[in-house]
Amino acid sequence: MNIISRNDGTQRVFLSEGTLNVSEILQEYYPEIYDSIQKEGFILKYSQCNLFKELIFENNVVGFCSYDFSREFMTLALNNIYVLPKYRGNSFLLNELTSTMAEQNKPSIMEPTRLIVELLIEYGFSSKITDNIVASAIEFVVPADHVLSNGEYGLEELSTHFYDLDICASIHILDAERSHVAYSAPLNYDIIHYDCIEYRNGLCDDYFMDISQIFKDRDVEIMNVILDLEENLPLKTYTLDEIIGPEGEFSFYIQSMIDDAHITQQKALEIKSQIREEYEAGMILNDSLLIRLAYLFDENHDGRITLHDDVCPYCGMPTDTHDRFCHFCGINLDYDFDEMENALFNSISHEKSDFEEDIRFIAYKFLKMIEEKIDMDYAIFAIENTYNINWNELNGFLDVNGYFAQDHITPEGCGFLKSHPLHFWNKYHMEIIDYTDFENYFYIHEDLASIEICLNYLNKFEKDEYIIDIINEIKKDCSNF
């Protein structure tokens, strides 16, 4: 067998925003691992990944693991791990999970086998709450097409803290009152080694009722088990500055999003100040900073899951009573709005800029927050503290124009948002031009169609590559109408 050596102590990593084919990497770079997998008849759990890492033992490459991060792009889910047979028993899984937690963030595991869950118990990352039910600080993720349920269940990915060793399944109580449970489909490994089909044949109403009863009766106790397990994880604690960057700078995460053209400089600045305010108000925990950043970067949060009985008050996605923070938007689920407001009063500097903002600009900023489902009291508070305006003045303006009524944006308000210069400036990533100048030009030529104003304005410039790109983008959009 030809094992690859890494005498310089390095560990090779393949990383891609798109998908990597695991078998192709193995065949091309690690034929000895590929052959061993074939010989054992081992089936890779997932054929694709975003991150592929070598596993090293005494300077030799003796296996690999791979991760998926398509779900929430900054948290990793382990989807394959393989070690050559004669090197097993050297704590590869433990070392891998520990180093990921220490260097990055808590990973989750895609559809663990019972063997993996038993190892997690051994490592102290999970523990039994009954003879067969396991609670885990590391979450288990089950892709939508592998989720089964004793009731109605849409095509939704499942993320859970619980596992049943008898039926070899990640389990999640959707509704304890109605004994509605979702669980993962059987894996080949568990069918062969743990006879899980035999156990699953015994699944009946009693099983689902008993399991739901355990969660009803011991709710608080179970939550504390998870909190204790989480507290003992060797996690890296992020500071606010590491996540958003210190004053006047962007963090590595934000800068790379800007460099890859995922967001504009302007949007990044807004997100940065929003996170700082929310963090200082206790709305985000250190553990959830990175998730919050990922959530605010991602503009498509339309996924609404309605089957779960507990949902996050901020984003409406399912939560578990055992969660300290929402795993989708990163909000601290224990935070109290009144308390937060007081903290905000103390944290935000009350100096306002002397610069007189156009009231239409402020109205746009306010309605945008409402559109993004930011709490109205918070939006008013943020506006009053940022601009030289009080709520009465702003509300008067909104009222006269009929943009906002009964705490909702009216159709006129929607029209206002879609025709505001800032809307176009953001939409077409015009940050290389000065916004104020663009806004002035826009209002002077208000009698023309918005798109025409944008094009006329851009045509005033020397045609550099960037301006041409913006013009093409706008024209492409027009032809789609």
Q: How far is the CB of 285 from Zn ion (least distance, A)?
A: 13
Q: How far is the CB of 291 from Zn ion (least distance, A)?
A: 9
Of 163, 154, 166, 153, the C-alpha closest to 201 is 166
Q: Please choose, out of 3-11, 15-23, 80-88, 328-336, the segment that lies near Zn ion by the rule CB under 5 A.
A: 328-336
Q: How far is the CB of 370 from Zn ion (least distance, A)?
A: 17
Residue 315 to residue 329: CA distance in whole angstroms: 7
Residue 158 to residue 172: CA distance in whole angstroms: 8
Q: Which is nearer to Zn ion, 335 or 428 (CB)?
A: 335
Q: For the chain, how big is the Rg over CA atoms in Å?
A: 26
**How many Cβ atoms are within 10 Å of 254's Cβ, its own excluded?**
23
Q: Please choose, out of 188-196, 229-237, 245-253, 322-330, the segment that lies near Zn ion by the rule CB under 5 A.
A: 322-330
Q: How far is the CB of 330 from Zn ion (least distance, A)?
A: 7
Could you tell me the two tokens for 265? 């400089």
Angle 81-107-325 (CA atoms, 0-180°, nearest 5)? 155
Residue 72 to residue 46: CA distance in whole angstroms: 18
Q: How far is the CB of 377 from Zn ion (least distance, A)?
A: 18
Q: How far is the CB of 65 from Zn ion (least distance, A)?
A: 29
Cβ atoms of 366 and 383 closer than 8 Å: yes
Q: Which is nearer to Zn ion, 301 or 429 (CB)?
A: 301
Q: Which is nearer to Zn ion, 22 or 290 (CB)?
A: 290
Q: Which is nearer to Zn ion, 167 or 326 (CB)?
A: 326
325 binds Zn ion (CB under 5 A): no
Could you tell me the two tokens for 289? 């900073």
Give me the 297-316 binding string for Zn ion, x by CB under 5 A, dash otherwise.
---------------x-xx-
Q: How far is the CB of 17 from Zn ion (least distance, A)?
A: 24
Of 443, 280, 281, the C-alpha closest to 360 is 443
**How many Cβ atoms are within 10 Å of 189's Cβ, its own excluded?**
18
Q: Which is nearer to Zn ion, 97 or 340 (CB)?
A: 340
Q: Please choose, out of 81-89, 97-105, 320-328, 379-387, the segment that lies near Zn ion by the rule CB under 5 A.
A: 320-328
**With contacts defined by CB under 5 A, how many residues of the chain interact with Zn ion?**
6
Q: Which is nearer to Zn ion, 171 or 329 (CB)?
A: 329
Q: Which is nearer to Zn ion, 36 or 332 (CB)?
A: 332
Q: Which is nearer to Zn ion, 148 or 315 (CB)?
A: 315
Q: Which is nearer to Zn ion, 314 or 428 (CB)?
A: 314
Q: Please choose, out of 152-160, 209-217, 326-334, 347-355, the segment that lies near Zn ion by the rule CB under 5 A.
A: 326-334
Cβ atoms of 88 and 63 closer than 8 Å: no
Q: How far is the CB of 328 from Zn ion (least distance, A)?
A: 5
Q: Which is nearer to Zn ion, 30 or 314 (CB)?
A: 314
- Through-space distance between the first and last CA atoms of the chain, rounded to whole angstroms: 61
- Selected from 37, 281, 329, 398, the binder of Zn ion by CB under 5 A is 329
Cβ atoms of 176 and 212 closer than 8 Å: yes
Cβ atoms of 79 and 46 closer than 8 Å: yes
Residue 244 to residue 331: CA distance in whole angstroms: 16
Which of the residues 7 through 66 are near Zn ion (CB under 5 A)?
none
Residue 259 to residue 261: CA distance in whole angstroms: 5
Question: Which SS3 state, helix, strand or coil, does residue 475 take?
Answer: helix
- Selected from 326, 340, 362, 389, the binder of Zn ion by CB under 5 A is 326
Question: Which SS3 state, helix, strand or coil, does residue 413 take?
Answer: helix
Length of the chain: 481
Q: Which amino acid is at 281?
A: A
**Which positions lie near Zn ion, rule CB under 5 A?**
312, 314-315, 326, 328-329
